[in-house]
């Protein structure tokens, strides 16, 4: 355990550019960071400042105090980290999440981050057509460029995403997330990775339940500034812009990996499940929250009518969406894996003790699995 000590001298961290001499000096110098009234220890650089602030260490008290800054419209604080390749070498044993985050920050500070974002948004804006229409919705999971279409779709609906989630789930979506957190059986120092985190609702629910770093990952960058703005809590998560099928995390570096309403949007969901298994420590838990078709015929018929006829109209009116997102939603649910297939794919990925927990008449299901403590010769694992 590294002894607690404050960094000497005047510490000023400005994450507008991701470049700071003080940050580089503190790589191996742990310091105490105060978030609100709560004192916490991190490896320096592991936690960015609150939105629109620079933290300056007081020479008298040693506390890091926020100073307001005026940033250009749309600038993101703390930084959203981009990772199109894994940022850490695979290695045996546990890896501190602070080190993972710090390596990501070093990658971001290289200067290529802003260039990639400029090219990304230019590319997204070059195609003004709908991401989804009747020609590709018979089976959206079979579309070759599903990944880019999903990314374009979520970029379009990001501003109204939370409102549509609340309204069209009749405010049940937050209850589903609370159930997912409960099933994860968190311990205070568990490291949690929330994949396809979107605007951060599940990520924040996890962050409120642990005293260790929580990492939210999403491959649609437009979702992450919204998640950041909502992260005004004592244990704010760190957000990474990365893909579920190539997580920028070392082997066996997390205790819980979750994904809420995102696994069916992944181009190769079976590969994503294998990634979740890779980054989990032995005994770690995977949580998959996903929509499903109710088993009761009457409820299933009502749900299909609501999702297929009513919700696409009302959600499109609220969002002003032209990407076809709310045509895609019911089709992506109806053509995705059944509950039995999901359980089979979790088993195929190597998970054990797989459970399914239907909620709200089976409209939503929370799947839970564990990574075995002892691997078997076949690679599946033994409880």
Tokens describing residue 306 = 């609501």
d(CA 70, CA 58): 21
Q: Which range is most confident: 20-29, 112-121, 260-269, 319-328?
A: 260-269
pLDDT of residue 109: 41
In this structure, the number of other CB atoms found within 10 A of the CB of residue 277 comes to 23
Domain boundaries of the chain, sorted by first residue = 1-79, 119-371
pLDDT of residue 37: 31
pLDDT of residue 131: 87
Task: Kindly list the distances between the CA atom of residue 50 and the CA atoms of 152, 334, 361, 362, 381, in Å, as whole numbers in the listed order.
Answer: 28, 41, 40, 39, 41
Q: Which residues contact 183 (CB under 8 A, 6 or more apart)?
A: 285, 287, 355, 357, 366, 368
Q: Report, as an integer, the average pLDDT of 13-27.
A: 32
Query: Considering only the top CATH level, what class is 119-371?
Result: alpha beta
pLDDT reading at 52 higher than 70: no
Give which of 88, 219, 80, 98 is closest to 148, Cα–Cα: 219
Q: What is the pLDDT of residues 126-178, one digit of tens each?
A: 445 788 988 888 899 999 999 999 999 999 999 999 999 999 999 999 999 99
DSSP state of 309: I
User: Higher-confidence residue: 45 or 158?
Assistant: 158
Average pLDDT score over the chain: 75
pLDDT of residue 212: 85
The phi, psi pair for 248, rounded to 5°, reads: -80, 50
pLDDT of residue 133: 85
Tokens describing residue 277 = 């298994």
- Considering the entire predicted model, what is its pTM? 0.71
Long-range CB contacts (< 8 A, 24+ apart) of 373-376? 373/282, 373/283, 374/282
Tokens describing residue 368 = 């839970």
Instruction: Dump the DSSP string for 351-368.
Output: EEEEEEEEETTTTEEEEE
Tokens describing residue 268 = 């190769």
pLDDT reading at 293 higher than 70: yes
d(CA 114, CA 95): 28
Q: What is the pLDDT of residues 182-221, one digit of tens each?
A: 999 999 899 999 999 999 999 999 999 888 889 999 999 9
């Amino acid at each position: 355990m590294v002894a607690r000590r404050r960094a000497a001298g005047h510490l000023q961290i400005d994450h507008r550019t991701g470049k700071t001499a003080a940050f580089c000096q503190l790589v191996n110098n742990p310091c105490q960071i105060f978030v609100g009234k709560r004192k916490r220890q991190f490896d320096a650089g592991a936690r960015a400042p609150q939105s629109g602030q620079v933290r300056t260490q007081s020479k008298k008290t040693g506390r890091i105090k926020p100073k307001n800054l005026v940033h250009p419209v749309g600038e993101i604080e703390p930084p959203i980290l981009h990772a199109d390749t894994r940022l850490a070498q695979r290695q045996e044993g546990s890896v501190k999440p602070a080190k993972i985050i710090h390596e990501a920050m070093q990658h971001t500070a290289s200067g290529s981050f802003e260039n990639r974002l400029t090219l990304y948004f230019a590319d997204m804006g070059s195609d003004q057509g709908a991401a989804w229409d009747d020609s590709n919705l018979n089976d959206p999971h079979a579309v070759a460029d599903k990944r880019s279409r999903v990314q374009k779709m979520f970029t379009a609906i990001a501003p109204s995403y939370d409102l549509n989630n609340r309204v069209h789930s009749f405010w049940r979506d937050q209850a589903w997330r609370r159930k997912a957190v409960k099933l994860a059986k968190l311990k205070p120092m568990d490291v949690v990775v929330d994949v396809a985190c979107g605007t951060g609702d599940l990520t924040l629910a996890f962050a409120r339940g642990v005293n260790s770093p929580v990492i939210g990952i999403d491959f649609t960058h437009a979702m992450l500034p919204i998640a950041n703005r909502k992260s005004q809590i004592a244990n704010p998560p760190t957000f990474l812009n990365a893909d579920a099928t190539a997580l920028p995390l070392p082997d066996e570096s997390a205790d819980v990996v979750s994904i809420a309403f995102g696994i069916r949007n992944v181009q190769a969901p079976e590969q994503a499940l294998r990634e979740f298994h890779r980054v989990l420590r032995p005994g770690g838990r995977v949580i998959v929250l996903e929509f499903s078709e109710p088993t009761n015929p009457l409820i299933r018929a009502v749900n299909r009518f609501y999702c297929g006829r009513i919700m696409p109209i009302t959600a499109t009116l609220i969002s002003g969406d032209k990407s076809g997102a709310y045509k895609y939603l019911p089709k992506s649910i109806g053509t995705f894996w059944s509950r039995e297939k999901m359980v089979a794919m979790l088993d195929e990925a190597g998970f054990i003790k797989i459970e399914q927990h239907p909620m709200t008449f089976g409209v939503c299901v929370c799947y839970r699995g564990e990574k075995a403590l002892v691997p078997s010769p076949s690679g599946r694992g033994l409880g």
